[in-house]
Structures are given as structure tokens and as C-alpha cells.
Amino acid sequence: MKLILLGPPGAGKGTQAAKIAERYSLAHISTGDMLRAEIASETPLGIRAKALIEAGELVPDDIIIGMVENRIQQPDCENGFLLDGFPRTIAQAESLMEFSDIDRAVCIEVPDESIVDRMARRRVCPDCKRTYSVDIDEGDEFYCSECGARLVARDDDKPETVRHRLEVYAEQTFPLIEFFDGKALLSRIDGSGTVEEVAQNIFDLFEEKDPYWEDDVDC
């Protein structure tokens, strides 16, 4: 199966994508992770992308499209894949459908102010990359439960940057919902619940509409 996960920044796409990919044995393709790897390596692409991301802007289509087209040709995508963070524009979606079929696009929907609050609480382990939601009323120092490293806030999680990213999403990415809806590929999911509640709603959506998947799922 070839799936797309849509939704605003902070909607929990990365978390849910990992759960979906594990349950259905799909390759999880995160353009955010791919870009962060380029940034960490300080490649020319990474240096260019870092400035754009920290300003809340989108990385140009040509860069992202090329990365994704190369990635889905890898052997681990033969059983299917889940795209997380791509496409974000109509141009990206049209290019994607020229070089790959898509079975479904799932949109996780969360109110803007809930997202701002979520991302203000998000912390990331710089070593093992695990993500946490912390209680910022309890202090400003938090540590990874896996490796003990001090957790850090991402630069693009600052409230002013988040609000700008949401504006960019509404302007440039929201039209994708209409694009995939018009092709009868869109399903909507309420992302306001707990991680497990949202995941179960997604699983129910897939397995209710595609009962044959149940035989392949290890519950």
C-alpha cells in the first residue's frame, strides 16, 4: 500500500506514521528526517534548508521532489510506503502522482491553538532522537528516559514560528485536502485525542474499509 499522511505541523504525523508503518510493514518516509540528516551533516542542501526551516518557510519543491523520488525506489519500499511530510503543495502532489500510484491520503486534523500548545511542550533527545511532551510548568530541564541526555526544544517549535508555519500550511498545504478529496483518496481523522486513541481510529479506518488487511496484521 502507498499512503500519504497529511496535517498541520504538530498534529502528530510523525508519531502516527511510525505506528502505521510498523503495523502494516510499510517504509516510513519522513521528509523532515531526511532534511534534518542533511542539516546535521552540514551539506549545501542542509545549510540552505536550515535557514528556511528556522524561518518557518517551506523548502523548494525541486529539492523535496528529487529526494522523495529517489527514496521510494529503494528496496524497502517494495511492500509499500507511507509519506510523512510530503507532499505539501499541489505541485509536489502532481509530481508525486506522475512517478507513483497512491492508495490513500489520511489527514489528521487538530485546532491551531492546540498545536501551538503541543509544540511549546515538545522536547527532543539530541542523542537517540526520541520525542517527548513535557510539563513546562514543572521547570525547564528534562532528560531522556532512554539514554539520560538532556532534552532540547527545536528552534522551529517556538510559538511565533509555529503560528507562521500554520499560516504557511493553510495557504500552501491546505489545498491538498481538496486535491486528494477530488480524487476520492482522502480520509479525515480527529487528531485531538491521545496518541493511542488517534492510532486506533486510523487502524479502524483502514481495516473497516480494507478488511483483507486484517489477515496481515499482528494484533
Residue 81: burial class (beta carbons within 10 Å; 0-12, 13-18, 19+): buried
CB hemisphere CA count around 83 (13 angstroms) = 27
Q: Grid coordinates in use for 38?
A: 542533511
| Residues with a known catalytic role | 13, 88, 122, 154, 165
**96, 100, 104, 107 alpha-carbon torsion, rounded to 10°:** -20
Say how many Å lie between the first and final Cα of the chain, rounded.
19
3-state helix, strand, coil in the chain (%, to 5): 55, 15, 30
